[in-house]
A and B are shown apart, each in its own frame.
Chain A
Amino acid sequence: EVQLVESGGGLVQPGRSLKLSCAASGFTFSNYYMAWVRQAPTKGLEWVASITNSGGSTYYRDSVKGRFTISRDNAKSTLYLQMDSLRSEDTATYYCTREAPRYWGQGVMVTVSS
């Protein structure tokens, strides 16, 4: 069974940084593209970033390019999202997902507020 467990969320001030982690199990992590998807309170789903199975290529939505960095450690079966220069509009639940098709973790809340 695919299991994805996120951690690292919390309350952070605008302009500060936060790093999310996602521990994966139940499948061969290094075989799959992974991604982060977010959902602002009472809103819909929004893809944030993806990474290839080797980690050699990464992709971002325009609004987070240059501020967020997705990475992975295949030896630890762990996905990361480094979030810098956070803005209030980044407030959301962040889901770790395995791609194509998409399986979801339980999500972690990130609140950007002073």
Chain B
Amino acid sequence: DIVMTQSPSSLAVSAGDKVTMSCKSSQSLFSSEYQGNYLSWFQQKPGQSPKLLISLASTRETGVPDRFIGSGSGTDFTLTINSVQAEDLAVYYCEQYYSYPTFGAGTKLELK
């Protein structure tokens, strides 16, 4: 199984902060056949199902604010939130779908 490691496990932020969280995979998620990294980011708020934010490591879903930016390739990936808003407080998960899907343990964004 591909192991996904997210860090930090939690992050205390203030509105307007720039936030960066990491997701590392135990093997490369890059497909040379399809020329893309099979990595998604999800946002889960309390009592809700996860919501897809970014797929293929950097493709933002329609309707997702442009302050959410996915980057990285191979085994190292980053989700950046520019100027975090109160509504962004949630747990963020990464997922690899290069092989049988596996998820990171999540990064919880909390208010400072």
Contacts and interface: CB of A to CB of B under 8 A. Distances in A.
Interface in B53-112: 55-56, 93, 95, 97, 100-106
A105 B52 CA distance: 11
Contacts of B56: 101
Interface in A80-114: 95, 99-107
Interface of B: 38, 40, 42, 49-52, 55-56, 93, 95, 97, 100-106
Nearest to B106: A44
A45 B97 CA distance: 14
Contacts of A104: 42, 49-52
Contacts of A46: 103
Nearest to A98: B52
Interface of A: 35, 37, 44-47, 50, 59, 61, 95, 99-107
Given A104-B42, A106-B49, 18 more contacts: A44-B103, A44-B104, A45-B93, A45-B103, A50-B100, A59-B100, A61-B100, A100-B38, A100-B97, A101-B97, A102-B40, A102-B42, A102-B101, A103-B52, A104-B51, A104-B52, A105-B49, A107-B49
B97 A102 contact: yes
A100 to B, nearest CB: 5
A101 B55 contact: yes
Contacts of B52: 101-104
- A-B pairs, 10 with minimum CB distance: A101-B55, A47-B101, A45-B103, A104-B49, A101-B40, A44-B105, A107-B49, A100-B97, A104-B50, A106-B49
